[in-house]
Amino acid sequence: MSLSADLSGKVALVTGASSGLGLHMARTLARAGAAVALAARRLERIEAEARALRAEGRRAVAVPLDVTDPRSVEEGLARARAALGTVTVLVNNAGIAHTDRALELPPATFRSVLATNLEGAFLVAQAAARAMIEAKVGGSIVNVASILGFRVAGRVAAYAASKAGLVRLTEALALEWARFGIRVNALAPGYIETDLNREFFASEAGKAMIARVPQRRLGRMEDLDGPLLLLASDASAYMTGTTIVVDGGHLVSSL
Ligand code: NAI
């Protein structure tokens, strides 16, 4: 099942676009007609992906960007603007996880998870919003949160806190930036199968986790396409400050 959206005329930037959901979402936006800046630290990987999209006839560039470094964020957005125009769709996808129990969680890990998943998303959103306001254009910011922003599991204390913070940040930015025509929403995916976790979900522990999802399956990256295109496009013109949960019912699993 696919949903079509016309994003022609929009300039999108996706952080953490070198792998996983970020790469998939960058391709989805480009194939819907947006000019796309793939932003990540691993320049060789995103350059190859941007080339592949251009070979399909899409507009795509690769920009180096580390979301934890304000200067890199400024430079990345400036490069995207120079190549494609002012970014009007930002997907704050870059994120890191951890598997430490709270008692053993090192402060440095706690800080780096928060710095990437929460502060990083804020820095990129702030820089993108400033550029939109300067260019007198509105836009759509999509933050990639998680169902762990709403409920918890073991060994995810910093991650869950960062994603809960991102949900609240989405609301706060939506409130402040509505007057500029900038919408800020979030996606909260459940467990989505990617190269990184495929092996885990094939294990007994992984299968037990899937059994707790009401739809009895993992999410596929394509399951995010419809909600992403909705939030990125003008079809959601009257939506801001909201988080769309895409989880096969995991959050409403029986207690
Ligand atoms: P991933 O590890 O493949 O992708 C994360 C990307 O962020 C990587 O490309 C990584 O290089 C990048 N990144 C990390 N730190 C960065 C930094 N400082 N600057 C720029 N880029 C940085 O993992 P995945 O699964 O694709 O995750 C993408 C997003 O989706 C994350 O925010 C994650 O928390 C979220 N998510 C993933 C779910 C899943 O089941 N895969 C479920 C719910 C949320």
**What is the average pLDDT across 198-225?**
96
Taking the centre of ligand 1 as the mean of its atom positions, its distance from the CA of residue 247, in whole angstroms, is 17
pLDDT in tens, 23-58: 999 999 999 999 999 999 999 999 999 999 999 999
Report how far residue 175's alpha carbon sits from residue 47's, in angstroms, rounded to the nearest whole number. Answer: 36
Residues with CB under 6 A from ligand 1: 15-16, 18-22, 40-41, 65-68, 93-96, 116, 120, 144, 146, 189, 191-192, 194, 196
Residue 95 Cα to ligand 1 middle (Å): 4
Q: Which CATH number describes the domain made up of 11-247?
A: 3.40.50.720
pLDDT at 1 over 70: no
Largest pairwise CA distance in the chain: 53
Residue 3's pLDDT is 74
Q: Where exactly are the structural domains of the chain?
A: 11-247
Q: Provide the token pair at 87.
A: 């970014």
Give the mean pLDDT of 61-72: 98
How far, in Å, is the centroid of ligand 1 from the Cα of 99?
Answer: 15
pLDDT of residue 141: 99
Kindly report, residue by residue over 151-196, the tens digit of the pLDDT. Answer: 999 999 999 999 999 999 999 999 999 999 999 999 999 999 998 8
- Contact at 8 Å (CB) between 173 and 229? no
User: pTM of the prediction?
Assistant: 0.98
Instruction: Report which ligand 1 atom has the smallest distance to the Cα of 116.
Output: 18
Give the pLDDT of residue 196.
Answer: 81
